[in-house]
DNA sequence: ATAAACTAGTTTATAAAATAAACCAAATTT
DNA sequence: AAATTTGGTTTATTTTATAAACTAGTTTAT
């Protein structure tokens, strides 16, 4: 009937992050922040959670003098997202 | 870009409840419990929350000697669900 | 008739998650 | 050189979700 929803993706912000990363393959912290409207703190925590689950990789470098955090989705992340999409559909009717 | 998700519906159990009620228009507590696999306690709390938001109405009666709790979706609930469906689609890509 | 088990839930307590606020280090601007 | 900005992280608070315990009564078996 209803497929279980991956709790890691069933979060407005984390779902938005993963949704973006699926389409762009690489995104800077500031890009994710702008696109999602999240606060820095919230974004920082949520990307860490996605990282801990191996849904994304986080690369830290410098852009000029400033620190730069770049995120990329993993194979596992893509699969989890695709599964989530299928699962949520079971709740949406029709 | 990403439409905001009604927090009341962005919950696995409450979404399942509303999804069911949209299709059946009336459901007993035990029916919802069986279909969703929720515990009684969790179900009890979640239908109360939906009731407080006027997304459903809760009718208490008796079936034989046993208490019977019946839920029905409201106009407001249907609209909220339809809006949620549109909103979540903005995260699912394609 | 009474104890045991079951129905149909509610309430309370605990764990997990999301969000906000405060903070940090370094860089830039005035 | 003081104030502000960048690009975040950490800590604290609030909100949610879940589980455990409880209530109130019913049915079944003894």
pLDDT digits (tens, 9 = 90+) for B12-62: 999 999 999 999 979 999 999 999 999 999 999 999 999 999 999 999 999
- Say what the pLDDT of residue B93 is: 84
Distance from CA of A49 to the nearest CA of B (A): 19
| B81-B82-B88 Cα angle (round to 5) | 85
User: In A, which residues are within 8 Å of B1 by CB distance?
Assistant: 35
Distance B37 CA to C5 C1' (A): 23
Select the residue of B2, B22, B88 nearest A88 (Cβ to Cβ).
B88
- Say what the pLDDT of residue B1 is: 83
Select the residue of A2, A12, A23 nearest B93 (Cβ to Cβ).
A23
- Say what the pLDDT of residue B30 is: 94
- Say what the pLDDT of residue A1 is: 85
Domains of chain A: residue spans and CATH: 12-89 (1.10.10.10)
User: In B, which residues are within 8 Å of A5 by CB distance?
Assistant: 12
Q: Is the pLDDT of residue B11 over 80?
A: yes
Helices (H) and strands (E) in chain B, counts: 4, 3
- Say what the pLDDT of residue B9 is: 94
Minimal CA–CA distance to A73: which of A45, A48, A54? A54
User: Nearest residue to D10 (CA, C1')?
Assistant: A41
DSSP string, A14-82: HHHHHHHHHHHS-EEHHHHHHHH---HHHHHHHHHHHHHTTSEEEEEEEETTEEEEEEEE-HHHHHHHH
| pLDDT, tens digit, 9 for 90 and up, residues A26-83 | 999 999 999 999 989 999 999 999 999 999 999 999 999 999 999 999 999 999 999 9
Stronger pLDDT, A93 or A19, i.e. the higher one: A19
Q: Is the pLDDT of residue A94 over 90?
A: no
| Strand C bases, protein C-beta under 7 A | 7-12, 16-22, 26-28
Contact A17, A55 (CB under 8 A): no
Rounded mean pLDDT, B65-79: 95
């Amino acid at each position: 009937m209803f497929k279980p929803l991956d709790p890691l993706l069933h979060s407005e912000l984390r779902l938005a992050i993963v949704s973006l990363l699926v389409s762009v393959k690489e995104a800077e912290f500031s890009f994710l922040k702008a696109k999602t409207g999240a606060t820095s703190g919230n974004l920082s925590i949520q990307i860490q959670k996605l990282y801990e689950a191996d849904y994304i990789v986080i690369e830290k470098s410098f852009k000029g003098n400033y620190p730069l955090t770049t995120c990329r989705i993993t194979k596992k992340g893509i699969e989890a997202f695709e599964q989530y999409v299928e699962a949520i559909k079971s709740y949406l009717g029709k």
